[in-house]
Structure 1
Amino acid sequence: MIKRLNYLLVALSAVLLFSCSKNDTPPQPLPTAFFVIQASPDAPNTDVYINSQLSLQNIPYGTDTGYAYALPGNYEFKVAETGKTTYYVTKAFSFDTAKLYSVYFIDSASRMKAVAVDDNFSTPNVDSVQIRYLDFSPNLIVHNVKFTNTTTSQVYEETGRSFNDQATNTDRQKFVTLKAGTYKVEFFLIGSGTPFKTIDALELKSQKAYTLYMKGFYNTVGTSGLNHAVIQHLL
């Protein structure tokens, strides 16, 4: 399911210029913007501090915020259990002018990491989309991903994907262009012909950009179990 804006970014007046949802027209000129995603599967509801300001309060696992626009510069993120000030992670990032970023909080709560990913996409042709795949399942081993267009049978595959691999190989964070349509997406462990997970009908609308990411723990059931999420970016 494509997530919409779930929570307003609050108490950011001293840090950011303003916030808007993913469907709003961006301001001109565009300074910088970032997107926050809580993807730590066993973390309780959390508070997010940006440059020491309480900026997101009581957000649950799976939350994504939409882009918040801000002045370019350095931003320090701290994440704590709601109402507490013992931080799971503290991480600073430098955000450049006229660039978009996604900031993910990943891994188990006891080993939480903050990672910033460049959202470098462009408007596709009228019959196309841009998409990328990111793996944020902490214990999922190396695997392959196969996208099959259910109408045209076009196939796109990515091989050898692993947890947070875009952090060491920036090619893994790049968007690729596919024809718009509905896709069957299958995930295979290396050497296996049987998918361990299948998305039967992933709808990718024309002239949009998407991130498909894996979350949760492999071989675990319930809320923290293996699952996926789809983000539609600002297009």
Structure 2
Amino acid sequence: MKKSKFLVVMPFLLALLVTGCKLNGDETSVPSAAFFVVHASPNAPNVDILVNGGGLVQNFAYTADTGYFFVTPGTYNLKVNANGSNSSLIDQNLTLSAGKYYSIFAIDSLSKIKTAIVEDVLSSVGADSVRVRFLQFCPNISALDASFYNANDTLNYTTRSFNDQNSNATLALYKTIKAGTYTLDIKTPPGSGTIYKSFGGINLLSGKSYTIYLKGFDGGTGAQALGIGQVVNVE
């Protein structure tokens, strides 16, 4: 596993051992529960992430991800603070169920920052294939269609809107396509076939599972420009 680390969260209240890593398919047992944190709020500062009052990561930058943390099933308090601040941008309780994996994205603009909690339904991948899902986390773009394609395969999504998997969990499911280098076309309005933005060079390596998400602001510049983020859930 990658990025392994250990952390005791609030030992005076809870004897909880937390370990973080990416999955590589060689795990001998399923963790009780696992969660993964991604900073996807375009104009939010670097943040500190706390669980049950204990520091999980510090100075966490936009588009960074933690890898999975394995924990005992239960309810946990998650705080997201501006780096070095005791004031919380996000303060909420999360219930993590036994045998399940979750990705927790900090999304939206700083003034509206919130979490998008997505269950990661992971499964094995064939030697020449990858598992992919697409999430729409650009808060100010209209509904859109999205297409991944290369000479060997195509994966289409229709009428996707901001954070839409929150109301339809099936939109967060992975789909299997052939490994390779893909282009992602964003088309709006839905059904028009009009390409609004195109992102090339998306290299999807065999045997892995990926989350590709639309990030930034439509009309944004620099680091906040409309773009794509990529998370490797299974390595």
Distance 1:144 1:29 in 2: 35
Deviates more, 1:138-147 or 1:8-17: 8-17
Deviates more, 1:11-20 or 1:162-171: 11-20
Corresponding residue number in structure 1 for 2:171: 172
Structure 1 counterpart of 2:232, which letter? Answer: Q
Distance 1:216 1:26 in 2: 34
1:179-190 matches, cutoff 5 A:
179-190=178-189
Distance verdict in 2 for CA 1:199–1:109, change over 3 Å: same
Aligned residues: 229
Please report the TM-score for the alignment, with normalisation by the length of structure 1. 0.89
Gaps of at least 5 residues in structure 2 are none
1:27 is displaced (CA, Å) by 5.9
Distance 2:6 2:78 in 1: 14
Superposed CA deviations along residues 12-44 of structure 1, whole A, max 9, x for unmatched, are 474652323315654634211110001111111
Distance 1:211 1:29 in 2: 21
Gaps of at least 5 residues in structure 1 are none
Decide whether the 8 Å contact of 1:128 with 1:178 is kept in 2.
yes
Superposed CA deviations along residues 82-131 of structure 1, whole A, max 9, x for unmatched, are 12122112121111111111011111111110121001021122222110
Distance 1:61 1:155 in 2: 29
Distance 1:177 1:13 in 2: 40
1:1-235 matches, cutoff 5 A:
12=9, 14=11, 16-22=16-22, 25-26=26-27, 28-150=29-151, 152=152, 154-190=153-189, 192-235=192-235
Structure with the higher fraction of residues in strand conformation:
2
Distance 2:182 2:84 in 1: 42
Decide whether the 8 Å contact of 2:10 with 2:53 is kept in 1.
no
- Structure 1 runs of 4+ with >6 Å offset: none
Superposed CA deviations along residues 26-65 of structure 1, whole A, max 9, x for unmatched, are 4634211110001111111111111122222111111101
Distance 2:166 2:65 in 1: 20
1:11 is displaced (CA, Å) by 5.6
Distance 2:138 2:178 in 1: 27
Please report the TM-score for the alignment, with normalisation by the length of structure 2. 0.89
